[in-house]
Structure 1
């Protein structure tokens, strides 16, 4: 670290921090050397965290050209925009001893590597090879790898946690449900997914256009998350200011899904057992004994639920 480091209110990259182009070049050379990689397993989690912050400062202040800057490509995932969520996620990962993480829809991973210093194994998955190239060229952390793949078909087994930051919002509602089921089936402990809890209703996006989603509302119906990590300050003028990462225990999601399936089966069985008249009308108990097939009472107290093929003549 720079010996003339100023107070924390100053922005990194200013002369007072001592982060010059020469400093950046030297630091990147050191942290990508074989000696550094051999030393990495023996470093403390706190040192790794400091190292990751410094590494990202270096990467963010490299001259990469406007077209390749994180600010130009992913404005919601820049180092500055993710300051709050990085702090919250880092604390959660450390407190819950998350040792391995699969990042579905990782993009260029420019901010995520700031929270994975104490993680032994990290896999970033993205469908876009261009962003993965940026991630590979800028991440030198041991145990970190990036693979091209479809998050809807990925294998999530073997990871303590699965993270997906804003990536699910590009999928259709049906694909979101299938992807979350696949993530939960991986057998990890936590799912950490972007959600907008202030959103009242979810729209579908079969064409792949991004939109905010509330994972606790239909058609997703996830239970309330174990933790809700807000990314932004609440702003009544910004409908998306509730953007958060919800943390769900996989065991809770699996139990909730099992309860929903049992309720659906019970509803179907109850519906099949109800007596229908010839017009597909369920009859209340007080009127069933007066009714034969093909006839229904004249009182209007019954309700039409559906036409049962077994009773259609």
Structure 2
């Protein structure tokens, strides 16, 4: 038994030595890269020296972005030994970020970004995620929490013809109240916005980590349900929409709500529709929800509405938009 313990200690010491040496090499490599890149500066780059993480700690980081300069007092970059292709960045609780063209103080609790790459797919980004507790800008609350991720998945037979990659999106954004920097319409008052759900997006190529990699085009989206909540009002969006041959939307979207009239009234209060049309529009939605519709090819049948819930169909076909069977005009370009 004593011999076994000694052997374990020797093996552990050897692994620790290689680990610490690796982090030292990483720190030197990172310092050299920063010195050669005019877009980023850091006062210090040091190894983390933690048993469950391999990584670096950077202090006084300044990053030049197209929107302006970002200043972060400290950043930790690391990967777990069990997941060497998944990288994490732990952000400081306070930082200065470019917002609307101005450098503003941003506070974020436990903010973490992560990204996983796939060496077998030419270093495509196979997963990306962001999570944070409460966020404030210039001392004004922005949101209560964020937890979102995107995962590279098999496209499936229903993918648009131009698609070359698909990502499943999921997560939630809690209590977005605004930044306190712009006036809010009186109709919104202090009502917070929350979003939760999942969707699949189809792209012309997978996301890649290279700075010079061109962003892929969005050619389709499909969802079984994304719920939008505004104060005590909520609605759910579902459907399948893609880019048609003419570049206009093709497919169907369905809006589920228990109070369409309240949403129409909000649209009127915000000036999006004339107030005198609220009652007429409500009647039109009720009728459209009750009438059978012809779904475009490749669009699966929607889920049935719950008791007391209205399901409003928007159909995009032949370059036109239909509210149920009623034509509304040209279909919008996709993506808008």
> Normalised by the shorter chain, which TM-score bucket?
under 0.3
TM-score normalised by the chain length of structure 1: 0.26
**Structure with more helix by fraction:** 1
More strand per residue: 1 or 2? 2
Structure showing greater radius of gyration is: 1
